[in-house]
């Protein structure tokens, strides 16, 4: 009972699922809307994954679609090989689907480790540039590998992901992220985000914490990739281009970086928005881009930056956004002078 009270997302999000499910059963939501909700779920998982690195640890990864691509291709290959080998009952299908998803996650996590290990030791924006490069390298490798369909794309992936499974993974992801933030590791990450040098001085092994967060994030991105592959049943390397990575960045920063509610709502609203604006034809993406600029100009921390739904608040109190106080205040001459004096 106590556990349920502390982890109320485990109750509230399934309630949302039940509502959507009932609406679907009563033919109020058609398949098109359900498909958009499923893609929004995938985007929510990805944005959570990005939030772990960009929002909580303060490292800038701008090539996260690369990890999604690894997860998608690994899991799609896995399930394609298994399901071509033998026909099987639905229970076994589900089990192998879950195995494929975990395989995708592990594949992405391995790449996350390989990328994070050397680059997270560097200071500055280098992680951003290297992740951008990584995403593009993965894409070029996929484009020239015949085993995964090369530039034609990978077809014939069994449709195993359903609204139910995507919801399950969204809940698991949110549960993991929230508890990660609340654990000693997460506190270490928050400390690194707020002031890396101070965190180092206080005895936090900064590279270790950064790599841990990065690998966890890559794992979650791989799972999102698997969901994506088993929803759309077709993968093309160009889908996971740099544009896809910026989409997730946009969801995260327009939604509210560092805030779990913000990244959920950002991903959901901004996935749905282009579809809602469809009646405007070619002008819809113009409005989308314009809105994004307006959001960032008038609310630089994002729509829900520094805020959290009550049921997603950290269990131990409001430490979550402590480092964001400096995001809210404009850097005045006074603070600049204070910083200068401190550095002497």
Partner 1 sequence: MEKFIQLLVYGLQLGSIYALLAIGYTMVFGIIRMINMAHGDFLMMGSYAVFFIVSLFFADQMLGPAIALFVILAGASITGFIGVGVERIAYKPLRNRPKISSMIAAIGVSLFTQNFFRAIPFIGPNPRTFPKLLKDVLFYVGPIQLSLVRIVVIILSIVIMSVLYFIIMKTTIGMEMRAASCDKDASSLMGINVNRVISATFFIGAGLAAISGAFYANNYPVLTVTMGATLGNKAFIAAVIGGIGDIRGAVLGGFIMGVIEIMISSVYSELAYGISFVVLIIILLLKPEGLLGKPMIEKV
Q: Contact residues for partner 1 (CB under 8 A)? A: 54, 60, 118-119, 122-126, 128-130, 132-134, 136-137, 139-141, 143-144, 151, 197, 242-243, 246, 249-250, 253-254, 257, 282-283, 285-286, 288-290, 292-293, 296-297, 300, 327, 330-331, 333, 336, 342-343
Neighbouring residues of 45: CB distance < 8 A, sequence distance ≥ 6: 169, 170, 173, 220, 221, 223, 224, 227
With left for phi above 0 and alpha for psi between -120 and 50, is residue 255 left, alpha or beta?
Answer: alpha
Question: In sequence order, what are the beta bridge partners of 235?
Answer: 154
Q: Smallest distance, Å, CB 78 to partner 1?
A: 24
Q: How far is the CB of 331 from partner 1 (least distance, A)?
A: 4
Closest residue by Cα to residue 309 from 256, 253, 250: 256
* 104 within 8 A of 160, measured Cβ to Cβ: no
Considering beta carbons, is residue 12 or 141 the nearer one to partner 1? Answer: 141
Closer Cβ to partner 1, 90 or 124, answer by number? 124
CB 185, min distance to partner 1, A: 23
Nearer to partner 1, 69 or 166 (CB): 69
Residue 117 φ/ψ, nearest 5 degrees: -55, -55
Give the shortest CB-117-to-partner 1 separation in angstroms: 11
**Smallest gap from residue 34 Cβ to partner 1 (A):** 27
Q: Of 80 and 321, which CB lies nearer to partner 1 in the complex structure?
A: 321
Do the beta carbons of residue 142 and residue 225 sit within 8 Å? no
Is 204 in a helix, a strand, or coil?
coil
Residues near 112 by beta carbon (within 8 Å), at least 6 away in sequence: 67, 214, 215, 217, 218, 219, 221
Q: Are 63 and 134 in contact (CB under 8 A)?
A: yes
Q: Following DSSP, what letter does each residue of 67-93 receive, concatenated?
A: HHHHHHHHHHHHHHHHHHH----HHHH
**Nearest distance in Å: CB 152, partner 1:** 13
Compute the least distance from the CB of residue 57 to partner 1, in Å: 13
CA gap 309, 174 in Å, rounded: 13
């Amino acid at each position: 009972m106590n556990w349920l009270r502390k982890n109320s997302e485990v109750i509230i999000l399934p309630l949302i699922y039940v509502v959507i499910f009932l609406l679907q059963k009563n033919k109020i939501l058609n398949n098109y809307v359900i498909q958009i909700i499923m893609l929004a779920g995938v985007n929510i998982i990805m944005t959570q994954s990005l939030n772990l690195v960009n929002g909580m640890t303060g490292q800038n990864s701008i090539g996260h679609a690369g990890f999604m691509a690894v997860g998608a291709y690994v899991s799609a290959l896995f399930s394609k090989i298994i399901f071509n080998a033998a026909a099987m009952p639905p229970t076994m299908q589900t089990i192998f689907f879950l195995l494929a998803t975990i395989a995708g996650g592990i594949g992405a996590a391995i790449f996350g480790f390989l990328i994070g290990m050397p680059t997270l030791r560097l200071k500055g924006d280098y992680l951003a540039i290297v992740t951008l490069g990584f995403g593009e390298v993965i894409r070029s490798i996929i484009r020239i590998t015949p085993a995964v369909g090369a530039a034609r794309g990978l077809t014939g992936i069994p449709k195993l992901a359903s609204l139910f499974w995507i919801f399950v993974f969204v809940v698991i992801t949110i549960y993991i992220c929230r508890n990660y933030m609340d654990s000693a590791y997460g506190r270490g990450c928050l400390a690194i985000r707020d002031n890396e040098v101070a965190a180092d001085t206080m005895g936090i092994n900064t590279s270790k914490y950064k790599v841990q967060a990065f690998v966890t994030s890559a794992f979650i991105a791989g799972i999102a990739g698997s969901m994506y592959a088993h929803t759309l049943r077709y993968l093309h390397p160009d889908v996971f281009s740099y544009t896809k990575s910026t989409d997730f960045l946009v969801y995260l920063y327009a939604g509210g970086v560092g805030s779990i509610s913000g990244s959920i709502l950002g991903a959901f609203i901004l996935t749905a928005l282009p579809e809602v604006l469809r009646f405007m034809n070619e002008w819809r993406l113009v409005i989308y881009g314009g809105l994004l600029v307006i959001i960032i100009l008038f609310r630089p921390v994002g729509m829900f930056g520094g805020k959290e739904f009550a049921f997603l608040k950290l269990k131990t109190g409001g430490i979550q956004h402590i480092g964001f106080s400096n995001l809210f205040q404009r850097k005045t001459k006074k603070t600049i002078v204070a910083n200068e004096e401190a550095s002497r």
